[in-house]
């Protein structure tokens, strides 16, 4: 992994860790348990930040061609679904259980990347992802707070995450590639109305709007600009990480981050009920993450070896 790829991966891991607990803080401490409305507000702020940065001359956003737009549409549709489902599953499950179940994303990435892009991973990479998946299953088998709706949401979230990352990687390849900022902009443009529609269809919107009207200035600051800024940062890093590395690297970076998130989640907010099996499963995931890192490092070294030429 080159230095740019490493920075992108670290930025993605840190920002995604922070936004998980920021959203939990909004749900449980600020008493605003409305994920679709929160997602809509966050996506609108992403667009606001992009517009402000463009006006200030800090960034440039290209208008996509017809071919680029056709490539962007499925990416943004999956991204919108992924965002809404991710926030909704965080509300339905405790942080440790959500992060454990999210580790199954890496297995879906392998399958999706093969179907969409025809990409095969090495045996060592496939084995490490299988090990992480086994750890997730072990940890999830001891869920003392089983929530069927939460499980359905997180598995749908896993599926859309895998599609989003693979399609985004493909959108960044070729002569008509699309940059991470353009993907972020159109993802937010589609994600905001999609989240608003979901809030209306689920009956969340009529309950959420009165809460926003009576919220204090500090609460509105966290729900709005602060959450939106974190949404902007994590969108940028997930797009950059995927294009600088690979969809699987982004997924596994997320899984490694999830281990840290899970450990903090044991004590944060008082939601988690301790289980030894769950802890053992997390240990297996740690092993899988280590094997993956070693496998990727070896592959990178081999790709950088000079090709020997032999004179006749």
DSSP per position, the chain: --HHHHHHHHHHHHHHHHHHHHHHIIIIIS----HHHHHHHHHHHHHHHHHHHHHTTS---PPPPHHHHHHHHHHHHHHHHHHHHHHHHHHHS-HHHHHHHHTTHHHHHHHHHHHHH-----HHHHHHHHHHHHHHHHHHTT-SS--HHHHHHHHHHHHHHHHHHHHHHHHTSSTT---HHHHHHHHHHHHHHHHHHHHHHTT-HHHHHHHHHH--HHHHHIIIIIHHHHHHHHHHHHHHHHHHS-HHHHHHHHHHHHHHHHHHHTTGGG-----HHHHHHHHHHHHHHHHHHHHHHHHHHHHTSPPP----
What pLDDT sits at residue 133?
Answer: 83
Q: How confident is the model at residue 121 (pLDDT cuts 50, 70, 90)?
A: confident
Please answer whether residues 293 and 253 qualify as being in contact, where contact means their C-beta atoms are separated by less than 8 angstroms: no
What pLDDT sits at residue 295?
Answer: 79
More confident call, 274 vs 57: 57
Q: What percent of the chain has pLDDT over 90?
A: 2
Q: What is the reported pTM?
A: 0.71
The yes-or-no verdict on residue 311 having pLDDT over 50 is no
The yes-or-no verdict on residue 309 having pLDDT over 60 is no
Q: What is the mean pLDDT of the chain?
A: 79
pLDDT digits (tens, 9 = 90+) for 81-108: 888 888 888 888 888 778 777 777 777 7
What pLDDT sits at residue 305?
Answer: 59
What pLDDT sits at residue 7?
Answer: 83
Domain boundaries, the chain: 3-300
The yes-or-no verdict on residue 147 having pLDDT over 70 is yes
The yes-or-no verdict on residue 128 having pLDDT over 50 is yes
Mean pLDDT of the region 172-181: 65
Least confident of 142-156, 195-209, 297-311: 297-311
Mean pLDDT of the region 223-240: 80
The yes-or-no verdict on residue 307 having pLDDT over 60 is no
Mean pLDDT of the region 218-245: 79
């Amino acid at each position: 992994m080159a230095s740019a790829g490493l920075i992108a991966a670290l930025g993605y891991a840190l920002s995604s860790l922070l936004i998980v607990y920021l959203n939990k803080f909004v749900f449980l401490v600020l008493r605003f348990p409305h994920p679709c409305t929160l997602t809509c507000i966050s996506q609108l702020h992403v667009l606001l930040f992009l517009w402000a940065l463009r006006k200030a001359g800090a960034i440039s956003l290209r208008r996509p061609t017809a071919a680029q737009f056709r490539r962007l549409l499925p990416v943004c549709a999956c991204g919108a679904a992924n965002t809404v489902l991710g926030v909704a599953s965080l509300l339905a499950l405790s942080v440790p259980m959500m992060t454990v179940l999210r580790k199954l994303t890496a297995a879906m990435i392998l399958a999706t990347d093969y179907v969409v892009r025809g990409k095969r991973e090495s045996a060592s990479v496939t084995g490490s992802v299988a090990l992480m998946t086994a750890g997730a299953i072990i940890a999830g088998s001891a869920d003392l707070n089983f929530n069927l709706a939460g499980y359905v949401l997180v598995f749908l979230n896993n599926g859309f995450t895998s599609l989003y990352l693979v399609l985004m990687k493909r959108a960044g390849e070729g002569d008509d590639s699309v940059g991470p900022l353009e993907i972020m902009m159109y993802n937010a443009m589609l994600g905001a109305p999609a989240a608003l529609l979901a809030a209306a269809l689920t009956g969340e919107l009529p309950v959420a709007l009165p809460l926003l009207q009576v919220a204090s200035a500090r609460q509105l600051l966290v729900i709005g600009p602060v959450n939106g800024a974190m949404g902007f940062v994590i969108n940028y890093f997930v797009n950059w990480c995927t294009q600088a590395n690979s969809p699987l690297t982004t997924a596994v970076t997320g899984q490694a981050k999830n281990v840290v998130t899970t450990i903090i989640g044991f004590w944060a907010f008082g939601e988690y009920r301790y289980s030894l099996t769950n802890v053992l499963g997390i240990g297996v995931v740690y092993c899988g993450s280590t094997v993956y890192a070693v496998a990727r490092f070896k592959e990178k070294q081999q790709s950088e070896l000079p090709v020997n030429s032999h004179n006749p």
